[in-house]
Each structure stands twice: as structure tokens, then as C-alpha cells.
Chains A and B, each alone.
Chain A
Amino acid sequence: KNEVEQSPQNLTAQEGEFITINCSYSVGISALHWLQQHPGGGIVSLFMLSSGKKKHGRLIATINIQEKHSSLHITASHPRDSAVYICAVRQNTDKLIFGTGTRLQVFP
């Protein structure tokens, strides 16, 4: 069993839909990251969370430390949001443990 699991693995949506990606982890963490990876391979950090909720534009990330669960929400999705979204957790040593990723495709 992976220490960080994401669901769904693949997600398709129509432009404008509200999207939720879930992440569950089984280890103690100091922070959780949501990352975006485009087909070219580059990784962009979207959020780093240790509690509560953060919002950036159309993206919202929440974390529940007690339940070891985080969600990434995309409002008013757009085709340019198509990417792989990765949940990664940071333990005390700062190295990241990555989830399996969620491949999102948004169609016009």
C-alpha cells in the first residue's frame, strides 16, 4: 500500500465544471504539497499546506490533519488546467513522498 494515495487516477471534465481531487496519506507529515505536472514534464508547486485551507485564483486546497486527507478543488475548469496533479507529503526530513498523481483532462 502506498503511503500517499490519490483518487481518482484519471479524470475528465467539461470546461466550466467543478473538479475535486483527493489525497489520503498514512504517515505523519509536517506539510503537504499539491503539484502540477504538464506533459513537458516540468513540475510547478501549487500549494504547501500544514493546516486549514488555501486559495489561489480558481484553485482551493484543504487539509484535515486528523483524518490524514487533503483535497484540491478547481472551480470553473478550463482546458489549460489539463495536467497531472500530484499530492506529495513532507516528513520531518523535508524529502517529499509523492502520490501516484491524477491525470486531468478538461475538454472545451
Chain B
Amino acid sequence: AAGVIQSPRHLIKEKRETATLKCYPIPRHDTVYWYQQGPGQDPQFLISFYEKMQSDKGSIPDRFSAQQFSDYHSELNMSSLELGDSALYFCASSGLGQGIPYEQYFGPGTRLTVT
């Protein structure tokens, strides 16, 4: 069965650079969620999209933006990177596709390291 795909899996950037993380949901899932997990911390909700529209917003810095495209994949754009942005970024998807309806299925995460 297809799972949530995230790319890249690892990313190293320098301070003040930009980064783009991509998330490909499970086929026919229409909702995407982004979470940030800092070292030794709980995952924190950043933002979510339903049918290409932002549906909820959490503790996402203004330097970050995200969108969901017509094929339902989502991208998280991060600018002016700071050391504190180093974290594991998870994407999850839900919907009426395969799996339990509306349950969130997580991708493997993108580990971002800012040096």
C-alpha cells in the first residue's frame, strides 16, 4: 500500500538560507498536516490544508509558508533559516483513500539541520 512520501529525507542548510520540504499524501487523501519535532521535544502542529485551502494554523513562524497543490501534494517553504529550525518535519495525510477514513498517516519525516 502506498504511504505518505516526504522529500528530501535529510537536508543540511546554512543559516539564512531557504529550504523547501515536499510531502506527497496517500492517494485520494485530501488533507495534509505539517508537524515540527525539535530535538528531544514533542511534535508540534504547524499548519494543515484541506482541498488546497489552509484549514488550520499552529505555531508556524512567519518565515515559513506552505501550500497544497492541485495534485494534493504540499510544500513547506522555510526562509531565513535559523539554528533553531533544526528539527524533524513530519507530514501526515488523511481522507477517504486507503486506510481508515480520516485517520492521520505519517510520512517518514525530513530531518533538517541548520548549521
How far apart sit A40 and B110, CA to CA, in the bound complex (Å)? Answer: 11
Cross-chain contact of B56 among A40, A45, A93, A101 (Cβ < 8 A): A93
Query: Is the CB–CB distance between A95 and B33 below 8 Å?
Result: yes
Which residues from chain B contact A71 at a C-beta distance below 8 Å?
none
| B-contacting residues, A52-108, CB 8 Å | 86, 88, 90, 93-101
Q: Quick one: CB contact mask for B87-111 with A, threshold 8 Å, 1 for yes? A: 0101010100000101111101101
Query: Is the CB–CB distance between B42 and A94 below 8 Å?
Result: no
Cross-chain contact of A94 among B37, B56, B106 (Cβ < 8 A): B56
Which residues from chain A contact B106 at a C-beta distance below 8 Å?
35, 42-45
A-B contact count (CB 8 A): 57
Which residues from chain B contact A40 at a C-beta distance below 8 Å?
108
By secondary structure, the B interface counts as: strand
Q: Does residue A19 face the partner (Cβ distance < 8 Å to B)?
A: no
Which residues from chain A contact B33 at a C-beta distance below 8 Å?
94-96
Q: Does residue B24 face the partner (Cβ distance < 8 Å to A)?
A: no
Query: Is the CB–CB distance between B43 and A95 below 8 Å?
Result: no
- Answer whether A96 and B35 are a contact pair too, CB < 8 Å, given A42-B108, A43-B106: yes
B residues near A (Cβ < 8 Å) are 31, 33, 35, 37, 42-45, 48, 55-56, 58, 88, 90, 92, 94, 100, 102-106, 108-109, 111
A residues near B (Cβ < 8 Å) are 33, 35, 40-45, 48, 86, 88, 90, 93-101
